[in-house]
Amino acid sequence: MEDENEEEMFYTVLDEDGLCEAVAQSVASVFDSENVQEVLTYVSRDQILNCVKEKCFGFDDGNMVINAKVYEDSVNDLAGMMQGKMLAKLAAEGFLESAWDDEVNDMVFWLADEGKPENEKKT
């Protein structure tokens, strides 16, 4: 269980490159991976920094001030962004079909050849 006082601790980010690396590693771990380079093909360093900056508590001498919740929320948002980009790529390449589902109020995806007669499936 997370220490309740951890969210009350604030950190001044002195090394933005180190923060980006740590966030990218955490995003990779969301996908049970250690491949930071793959994360960085979907989410840029600037996107990572902008995400954290939007959530930070402010700046101390030009450095972001964050806590564990800001970090965790940033990781979750970036993982969602990465997942969306991965799905869009698969749909653009023809592996997935997609549509808006009014009932669930969200995009839904399915395999492109699912439900097609065998003679109509892509080869």
**Percent residues over pLDDT 70 in the chain:** 86
- Kindly list the domain boundaries of the chain, sorted by start residue: 4-89
Tell me, what's the pLDDT at 28?
96
Q: Give the tokens for residue 82.
A: 């990465």
pTM over 0.75: yes
In angstroms, the CA 14 to CA 91 distance is: 39
Tell me, what's the pLDDT at 123?
53
Residues with Cβ within 8 Å of residue 64, at least 6 apart in sequence: 12, 13, 16, 19, 52, 53, 56
| pLDDT single digits (tens) 37-78 | 999 999 999 999 999 999 999 999 999 999 999 999 999 999
DSSP-derived secondary structure letter, 2: -
Better pLDDT: 39 or 121: 39
